Amino acid sequence: MLLRAVLGIAFLGVAAVSSAGPIEDQIKFRQGAYTFIGWNTNKIKAQLDNPDSFSKEEVIAAANAIAAAANSGLGALYGPGTDKGEGFRKTRLKSEFFEKPEEAKKVALQFNLEANEFAKVAATGDVGQIKAKFGKLTQSCKSCHDSFREKEAK
Amino acid sequence: MVKTIQVWDVPIRLFHWGLVVAITVSVISIKTNLIDNQWHLYSGMAITALLSFRLCWGMIGSHTAQFRQFWPRLSALRAMLKHEWQGVGHSPTAALSVFALLGVLVWMIATGVCADDDISLQGPLAHWLVDWVDASVSDQASAWHAFTFNVMIGLVSLHLAAIAYYAWVKRNNLVPAMLHGKQQVTPALTDQYAQQTAHDHNHFYWRLSISVVIAAVITLVLFNTQVQSWLYAPPTVLVVPASTQAW
């Protein structure tokens, strides 16, 4: 017990310097964040698909939730070695993520940009604009998936 | 002297050009931002309908549409390679291409209805799979769907290359026949063809109706979640009612 505690603290100490904890935790936080983002994009999509159910307040809440998650510093969850390992399930992050840091940074920042842009547009309640920006937002998800996410579980 | 005969019936031509349009919409909707990716579902529905119709028409359709008539046989392929094959409709090599394309498209639909891009596009069976079987099945289907796309593009390119080869090298443009359905053949072939197609008019509309109904049923069953969202409001389970949103 004591040994485990000591090791745990030592490990945390090392990890805290560079990232958000042990590899499994980083992956788990990551998966949690994107699942949460997915819930919110689904809510928006359901409302855009069926205009009768459109609620400005609800779209704003979802858009703000996505922006908050995007701005929470997700980059800290992509420490070295997190292309392998298990959070809630096995990670599908490709090793290319670490081999092409410039491209990785580009798609990551694109997502942040689109999430913030989307939150701004959501606040206006303009359905046409929301639809257009939602397309941009989901496209930023897709461009990262296309480059850095395995098509299926490793 | 050559004679002009009807080689492709109206349903076959509609199927062919419908498929061209639907596949084009499918590719544009998923690979570009020009149109909403919701169109990928609509075009998938259209392709399902067209394909199931074609599979029926291949069994009870007109002579040149029937699978058993152009089923690839080694003897016919050998004759084709020795430039000895003669006939009307799909040649033995064209038949291989037809079966390959139909097979790949059936596979694209089968994996597509199970696929999920984890962003904003779900095949009609994806939720069902995640809830009742396993999410990994849906992931696997998505991966196959994406991979088979390359195979499909390869086969379509081969198809177009063959058309170009026939037009430029063999001086035989095959495209007009797929537009107006007519082809010029030698008198000997005309007589043979007249015998083979003697029954094409029997119960034509009955066979057509049966094929259309079967195609419609398959499409509506496979895409029933989509259909329901048109008939009724889409499932709003994910959306929190305003009254409970306070916390």
Domains in chain A with CATH codes: 34-73+100-154 (1.20.120.10)
* Region B201-208 average pLDDT: 92
Res A1: pLDDT: 45
Categorize the per-residue pLDDT at A15 as very low, low, confident or very high, splitting at 50, 70 and 90: very low
Task: Answer whether residue A84 shows pLDDT above 80.
Answer: yes
Residue of A142, A145, A146, A147 to mutate for B, most B C-beta atoms under 10 A: A142
Q: Across-strand partners of A93?
A: A149
Q: Which two tokens stand for residue B191?
A: 């007589």
**pLDDT, tens digit, 9 for 90 and up, residues B98-127:** 999 999 999 999 999 999 988 888 899 998
Tell me how crowded residue B246 is: count the other CB atoms within 10 A of its CB: 5
Residue B2 above 60 pLDDT?
yes
- Name which of B49, B69, B52 is nearest B7 in CA terms: B69
Asked if B147 lies within 8 A of A151 by C-beta distance, the reply is yes
* Residue A2 C-alpha, separation from nearest chain B C-alpha, in angstroms: 39
Nearest to A46 among B36, B117, B236 (CB): B236
Q: What's the pLDDT score for residue B6?
A: 87
Q: Would the CB atoms of B239 and A38 count as touching at under 8 Å?
A: no
Q: Are the beta carbons of A139 and B33 separated by less than 8 Å?
A: yes
Q: Where are the beta strands (DSSP E) in B122-181?
A: none
User: Of the candidates A145, A148, A136, which has an alpha carbon nearest to the alpha carbon of residue A102?
Assistant: A148
Q: Which amino acid type is present at position A86?
A: E
Query: CA triplet A60, A63, A66: central angle to 5 degrees?
Result: 150
Which of B100, B91, B81, B107 is closest to B163 using CA atoms? B91
Element (H, E) at B16: helix B10-31
Set of chain A residues whose Cβ sits within 8 Å of the Cβ of B142 = 151-152
Whether ipTM tops 0.85, in short, is no
* Average pLDDT in chain A: 87
Q: Is the pTM of this model over 0.90?
A: no
CB contact under 8 A, A151 and B146: yes
A30, A44, A45: best mutation site toward chain B, by most B Cβ within 10 Å?
A45
* Under 8 Å between Cβ of A70 and A115: yes
Q: What percent of chain B has pLDDT over 90?
A: 56
pLDDT at position B155, please? 97
Distances (CA, A) of B187 to B3, B12, B64, B174: 6, 24, 18, 19
pLDDT at site B233: 58
CA–CA separation, B123 vs B119, rounded Å?
Answer: 12
Contact A96, A147 (CB under 8 A): yes
Structure tokens at B236: 């709003």
Compute the radius of gyration of chain B from its Cα atoms: 22
Cα separation, B156 vs A119, in Å, equals 42
Residues of chain B with Cβ-Cβ distance to A107 below 8 Å are none
Q: How far is A27 from chain B (nearest CA, A)?
A: 17
Strand partners, A90: A86
Which residue has better confidence, A96 or B189?
A96
Model confidence at B246, pLDDT cuts 50, 70, 90, reads: low
Residue B141: closest C-alpha in chain A: A152
State residue A154's pLDDT score. Answer: 62
In three-state secondary structure terms, B104 is helix
DSSP A36-100: HHHHHHHHHHHHHHSGGG--HHHHHHHHHHHHHHHTTTGGGG--TTTTS-BSSSB--B-THHHH-
Q: What is the pLDDT of residues A35-79, one digit of tens each?
A: 999 999 989 998 888 888 889 999 999 999 999 999 999 999 999
